[in-house]
Chain A
């Protein structure tokens, strides 16, 4: 059974820092991997989608990498801002159905 782990569970950094959020998974037979952000009391916003054949994706200050062989993905946030404060969720797509298996999330606080 696929298990998804996100470390750390919580992170607090000063504004302007570059930071890395980690996601690990136990079964490398994945279809794709998505990173989401969730603001308190809100739904999920998709940040980046990496297909299983890809190594990384970039959007603005965000860069996500995927290493299936080691069962790891990282989300890199450059020059963090207070508006980046949210919970970040990693989710694996196991098959072509698209249903996702989520990690528990990393709650990020960026202090001004």
Chain B
């Protein structure tokens, strides 16, 4: 079946603008994760959704970052008032369950903040 998809693949924005990044997980996967990959920091966990439970937001770097998952499927990561340090590749992953399940990653969205 189809893998994890993300859109857009590339996003260039001006400092101070808001951006929305979308993730479509694999159908039937209950767990969804957002990670960020930047040159200086490597791959960092941002937020995690599992079913209808409250999300684990412990990795979000500031209150400008938020995410939601509608209907237990599609997720949107929103960054408000973007800063240059937000420039990175944002990766989404999904898995059948949490914990011991393999995570399947999407191709990522490359965000550039000018």
Residues on A lying within 8 angstroms of B by beta carbon are 31-32, 34, 36, 42-46, 49, 51, 89, 91, 93, 95-105
Residues of B within 8 A of A101 (CB): 45
- Given A43-B91, A44-B91, does the pair A98, B99 have CB atoms closer than 8 Å? yes
Residues of B within 8 A of A96 (CB): 98-100
What does DSSP make chain B's interface, helix, strand, loop or mixed? Answer: strand
Quick check: A45 and B31 within 8 Å, CB to CB? no
- CB nearest neighbor in A for B104: A46
- Ordered by A's residue number, 17 sampled pairs between the chains whose C-beta atoms are within 8 Å are A32-B100, A43-B105, A43-B108, A46-B105, A93-B99, A93-B100, A95-B99, A97-B50, A97-B98, A97-B99, A98-B99, A98-B101, A100-B35, A100-B43, A102-B43, A102-B44, A105-B42
Does B107 count as interface, using CB distance less than 8 angstroms?
Answer: yes
Residues of B within 8 A of A31 (CB): 99-100
- CB nearest neighbor in B for A31: B99
Quick check: A49 and B102 within 8 Å, CB to CB? yes
Quick check: A99 and B102 within 8 Å, CB to CB? no
- Given A89-B43, A105-B42, does the pair A100, B106 have CB atoms closer than 8 Å? no
Quick check: B104 and A99 within 8 Å, CB to CB? no
Residues of B within 8 A of A91 (CB): 43
